[in-house]
C-alpha cells in the first residue's frame, strides 16, 4: 500500500456547549494504531484506510 491508499479526513472539533476549540484532543482509528491530535485551532487531519468501515475514537481530558 502507498500513501494514496489512505484518503485524508479533515475536521474541526469544538465544545458542544460553548463552541470553544478542543486543543490536544486525540483521534485514533479503532483497531490499527493510527491517530492524530487536534491543533491549537481544534483542527485535525487523519488518514483513513480505504475499502473498509472505520470507527474513529475521540479522547479528551480537560
pLDDT tens digits along 2-61: 444 567 777 888 888 898 888 888 888 877 678 888 989 888 888 887 777 788 888 888
How many other CB atoms sit within 10 Å of the CB of residue 27? 20
Task: State the pTM of this model.
Answer: 0.59
Distance, first Cα to last Cα, the chain: 37
pLDDT at residue 6, as a whole number: 60
pLDDT at residue 10, as a whole number: 77
Cα–Cα distance, 15 to 31 (Å, whole number): 26
So where are the chain's domains? Answer: 3-51
Amino acid at each position: 500500500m502507498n500513501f494514496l491508499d489512505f484518503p485524508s479526513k479533515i475536521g474541526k472539533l469544538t465544545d458542544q456547549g460553548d463552541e470553544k476549540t478542543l486543543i490536544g484532543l486525540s483521534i485514533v482509528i479503532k483497531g490499527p494504531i493510527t491517530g492524530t491530535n487536534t491543533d491549537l485551532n481544534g483542527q485535525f487531519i487523519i488518514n483513513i484506510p480505504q475499502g473498509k468501515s472505520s470507527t474513529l475514537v475521540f479522547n479528551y481530558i480537560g
